[in-house]
Amino acid sequence: MISRCSLIPALHADLSRPGRAESEGGFSLMEALVAATISVIAVIGLAHSFGMGRAFINRYEVARAALGAVGARMEELSVLPAAAPELTVGAHPATPEPFTYQGVEVGTIGWRVEWFDDPLTPSITADLKRVTVVVRWGGGADRDSVRLIRLFPRA
């Protein structure tokens, strides 16, 4: 049987071996490099996602401004007499007008007028005008648009 007194010197002797405490304490160089690499990858990923989030916010801001421009143009057209030149069938204006956001031209605004047949009045053909106002902006694969459609009475 081992006495309690005989274990204490043995434990003390194991812990006091030269080099043992220094080799097991802290992190190794390899562990520190792996942790740093993982941290750098995580930070780069977060930075990229923040940039994408900001791009989506900017896109939404332009879309909101485009919706306001479409609504304003539709209101301007709605107060015109039915026989106004702006409400004749076809594309208006001949060259789409610029759409600006914060003083920068970002797209175009235009509208199209078409005849529309109301199904509730089958005896009259083309008894309404369908006015579609469109704002388009962006380029390439990121081309966006806002479209508002409203029916106007025939002249």
- pLDDT more than 70, % of the chain: 84
Domain membership of residue 16 (yes or no) is no
d(CA 110, CA 99) in angstroms, rounded, equals 9
The percent of residues in the chain predicted with pLDDT above 90, rounded, is 54
User: Does residue 91 lie within any of the structural domains?
Assistant: yes
User: How many domains would you assign to the chain?
Assistant: 1
pLDDT at residue 76 is higher than 60:
yes
**Averaged pLDDT, 95-119:** 92
Lowest mean pLDDT among 13-17, 45-49, 134-138: 13-17
Which H or E run includes 38? Answer: helix 29-78
Residue 9 lies in a domain: no
Q: What's the CA gap between 98 and 95, in Å, rounded?
A: 9
* Domain presence at residue 68: yes
On whether residue 81 sits in a domain, the answer given is: yes
pLDDT at residue number 51: 77
Residue range 75-79: average pLDDT? 95
Which of these, 77, 63, 69, lies nearest to 99 by C-alpha position?
Answer: 69
Answering whether pTM is above 0.85, one says no
Q: Who has greater pLDDT, 134 or 155?
A: 134
pLDDT value for 74: 96
Q: Band the pLDDT of 5: cuts 50, 70, 90.
A: low
Average pLDDT over residues 71-82: 94
Please state, in angstroms and rounded to a whole number, the distance separating the CA atoms of residues 46 and 50: 6
User: What span, in angstroms and rounded, lies between the C-alpha atoms of 18 and 32?
Assistant: 24
In a domain, 13, yes or no: no
Q: Which domain holds residue 38?
A: 26-153
For the chain, helix, strand, coil in percent to 5 are 45, 30, 25
| Distance between CA atoms of residues 133 and 147, nearest Å | 6
∠ at Cα 104 (103, 106), nearest 5°? 135
The answer to whether residue 21 is domain-embedded is no
